[in-house]
Amino acid sequence: MQVKEVKEELIYIEKVKKINENKKLKYYILTMGCQLNENDSEKIAGMLEEMNYEKTLDMQDADLVLFNTCCVRENAEERLFGKIGEVKKLKEENGTIIAIGGCMMQEEHITKKIKQSYPYVDIIFGTHTLNKLPQDLYEALDENKKVRDIINIDGQIIEGLPISRDDKIKASVTIMNGCNNFCSYCIVPYVRGRERSRRPQDIIDEVIGLSKNGYKEIMLLGQNVNSYLVSQKAKGEDVNFKVIVNDKEMIVNSFATLLIALDEIEGIERIRFISPHPKDFTNDVIDAIKNSKHICKQIHLPLQSGSTRVLKEMNRKYTKEEYIKLAEKIKNKIPEIVFSTDIIVGFPGETEEDFEDTLDVVQKVNFEQVFMFIYSRRVGTVADKMENQIPEEVKHKRFDRLKELVENQMKVQNENYVGKEVQILVEGKSKNNDKMLTGRTESNKVVNFEGTDDLIGKIINVKIISEHQWYLKGSIIK
Ligand code: 5AD
Ligand code: SF4
């Protein structure tokens, strides 16, 4: 297994720390991507804080500005170039260090454009060289060098980087990196490389550490979590890992056994994971969820399209019927389960009939949350070369129709919550009203309610008193 413990990174952290000694320096990070990117940003923040930088939320005030980019959809590119334009003045006036990292930096046409049009950018690093940031920063500070640190996309798993987390109750834990699926619309396999899994004990130790620090909920992250350890197994490696949880010896050799082991960790009340692939959703994972104490009875199951024909073009390797059957099978085994999903509208060649199949699946599965995306062409993917691209206008019209159906379904679901008693994990103060607290049900619905700060981090019972489209209102049951 390709795992590297940090070592020389720590030397460079010390070197930069020395350069920054007695200076009150600040960093600003803008994360533009998914939760994996956010988790990477927490690692970047952890390293920067070790190097004497303090976090600021005001970009103008920062000595180091870092953009952590995403390239899954097109509008992220326009946004990034806008942002790089914005920081030119900061560079000229204050000598601010400008660093750009993340998935988009693994795309050659993007880095080329940055080098040509924005030469003032100091550091460019990819998703696989994140751990080299201290060295890059050292070279930028000490030798005034422009550093472009993007190498092969199949980098190692790095263990032991410091991390500075944004939240005190919920934490993300990356369990694997990369993807082998090559869905025809998706750029991820090209920028994050092949699948590689972390060692089970490293994941378990991280979660035990989180629990000791008061965290209550963990979100396991990976592009394809249910193929955890699968590619190692395929290479003939022995993946029967002996792990120790609560002084108990267990064997972890799959995603299901990892879930079973994590479920044993005391203090972690909720475990979630994103994203599984429907084609790999095995019975042992369903059983692990069913028999667990802490794994939420809520599954994110990306559909992408409800049309078997489109699914084939997307290289998803399941049919409409197989998807519905899987959802039914899970529901039969775990009746309280709720589903969320991702859907792309306007994939090349999608006909009205295909789109109606998507609406049909949405109707049948009755998802509690649907993340809807308009298909966006990604350079280098198979779908980008397809000739039958759908006009923007048609895509938007379909998007609006899907949105309307989803919102109607949500309204009915929300109304069903009213009057019910639910358990929520209290996450903190409500963003819009600091007299209110906010939490989530196991099914991931946001519930706002009046309560005192000592409840933050606790699981409590509330009665739902009203629904407000994006959240529910509750009152504490005494
Ligand atoms: N266009 C639109 N949506 C996309 N996604 C991935 N690639 C694209 C694309 N090219 C969506 C998928 C995936 C989610 C993270 O982003 O629905 O599940
Ligand atoms: Fe992209 Fe498909 Fe891999 Fe998900 S499973 S990251 S959509 S290629």
Q: What residue type is 230 in one-letter code?
A: V
Contact 307, 353 (CB under 8 A): yes
Contact 372, 362 (CB under 8 A): no
pLDDT of residue 151: 59
Query: Are the folds of 167-296 and 298-417 the same?
Result: yes
pLDDT of residue 469: 86
Residue 73 has pLDDT above 90, yes or no: no
Residues in contact with ligand 1 by the CB-under-6-Å rule are 72-73, 185-186, 302, 304, 342, 344, 373, 375-376, 378
Q: What would the pLDDT profile of 394-431 be if each residue is shown by its tens digit? A: 999 999 999 999 999 999 999 999 999 999 999 999 98
Contact 166, 29 (CB under 8 A): no
DSSP code for 122: -
Contact 206, 255 (CB under 8 A): no
- Identify the H or E element spanning 396: helix 392-417
Spatial CB neighbours of 404, under 8 Å, sequence gap ≥ 6: none
pLDDT tier at 153 (50, 70, 90 boundaries)? low
Beta pairing partners, 474: 449, 464
Look up residue 203 and give its two tokens: 């994941």
pLDDT of residue 5: 75
Q: What would the pLDDT profile of 364-396 be if each residue is shown by its tens digit? A: 999 999 999 999 999 999 999 999 999 999 999
Residue 80 has pLDDT above 80, yes or no: yes
Of 167, 46, 178, the C-alpha closest to 106 is 178
- Identify the H or E element spanning 64: strand 64-69
In whole angstroms, how far apart are CA 250 and each of 32, 85, 241, 266?
38, 53, 8, 16
pTM of whole model > 0.85?
yes
CA 102 to chain centre: 13
Which residue's CA lies nearest to atom 1 of ligand 2? 186
**Dist. CA 116–CA 48, nearest whole Å:** 28
Ordered DSSP codes for 310-344: HHHHTT----HHHHHHHHHHHHHHSTT-EEEEEEE
443 φ, ψ to 5°? -80, 5
Percent of the chain residues topping a pLDDT of 90: 83
**Dihedral angle computed from the Cα positions of residues 413, 419, 423 and 426, in that order, rounded to the nearest 10 degrees:** 90
Residue 120 has pLDDT above 90, yes or no: yes
The minimum-distance atom of ligand 1 relative to the CA of 72 is 7
**Architecture of the domain delimited by 167-296:** 2-Layer Sandwich (3.30)
Ligand 2 near 192 CB (within 6 A) = no
Spatial CB neighbours of 198, under 8 Å, sequence gap ≥ 6: 3, 157, 159, 174, 175, 176
pLDDT of residue 129: 80
**Dist. CA 478–CA 462, nearest whole Å:** 9
Of 146, 139, 152, 292, the C-alpha closest to 220 is 292
**Dist. CA 91–CA 97, nearest whole Å:** 7
Look up residue 99 and give its two tokens: 């660093």
Look up residue 428 and give its two tokens: 């903190």
Length of the chain: 478
Give residue limits of the domains in the chain: 3-149, 167-296, 298-417, 421-476
344 C-alpha to ligand 1 centroid (Å): 6
**Dist. CA 233–CA 205, nearest whole Å:** 22
DSSP code for 419: T
pLDDT of residue 2: 65
pLDDT of residue 261: 98
466 C-alpha to ligand 2 centroid (Å): 37
pLDDT tier at 246 (50, 70, 90 boundaries)? confident
- Pick from 35, 195, 224 the residue to mutate for probing ligand 2's pocket: most ligand atoms within 8 Å of its CB: 224
Which position has the token pair 């930069």? 16
CA 268 to chain centre: 19
The minimum-distance atom of ligand 1 relative to the CA of 342 is 17
189 φ, ψ to 5°? -60, -25
The minimum-distance atom of ligand 2 relative to the CA of 223 is 6
> Other C-beta atoms within 10 Å of 182: how many?
12
> Other C-beta atoms within 10 Å of 428: how many?
17
Q: What would the pLDDT profile of 130-151 be if each residue is shown by its tens digit? A: 888 999 999 999 887 777 766 5
Q: What is the mean pLDDT of the chain?
A: 94
Residue 1 has pLDDT above 60, yes or no: no
Q: What would the pLDDT profile of 10-59 be if each residue is shown by its tens digit? A: 899 999 999 999 899 999 999 998 888 999 999 999 999 999 999 999 99
**Dist. CA 215–CA 167, nearest whole Å:** 9
Class of domain 421-476: mainly beta
Of 123, 120, 115, 130, the C-alpha closest to 147 is 123
173 C-alpha to ligand 1 centroid (Å): 22
CA 226 to chain centre: 15
**Dist. CA 271–CA 255, nearest whole Å:** 13
pLDDT of residue 118: 94
Beta pairing partners, 339: 299
Beta pairing partners, 460: 424
For helices 352-365 and 392-417, the axis angle rounded to 10 degrees is 10
345 C-alpha to ligand 1 centroid (Å): 10
Q: What would the pLDDT profile of 163-216 be if each residue is shown by its tens digit? A: 999 899 999 999 999 999 999 999 999 988 899 999 999 999 999 999 999 999
pLDDT of residue 431: 85
pLDDT of residue 128: 80
CATH, domain range 298-417? 3.30.750.200
pLDDT of residue 150: 65
Beta pairing partners, 342: 371
Percent of the chain residues topping a pLDDT of 70: 98
369 C-alpha to ligand 1 centroid (Å): 16
pLDDT tier at 154 (50, 70, 90 boundaries)? low
Residue 4 has pLDDT above 80, yes or no: no
Spatial CB neighbours of 387, under 8 Å, sequence gap ≥ 6: 348
3.40.50.12160, 3.10.450.50, 1.20.1260.60, 3.40.190.10: CATH of 3-149: 3.40.50.12160
pLDDT of residue 317: 97
**b or e along 221-231 (b: 16 or more beta carbons within 10 Å of the residue's beta carbon)?**
bbbbbbbbbbb
Spatial CB neighbours of 462, under 8 Å, sequence gap ≥ 6: 421, 422, 424, 439, 447, 449, 474, 475, 476, 477
pLDDT of residue 326: 98
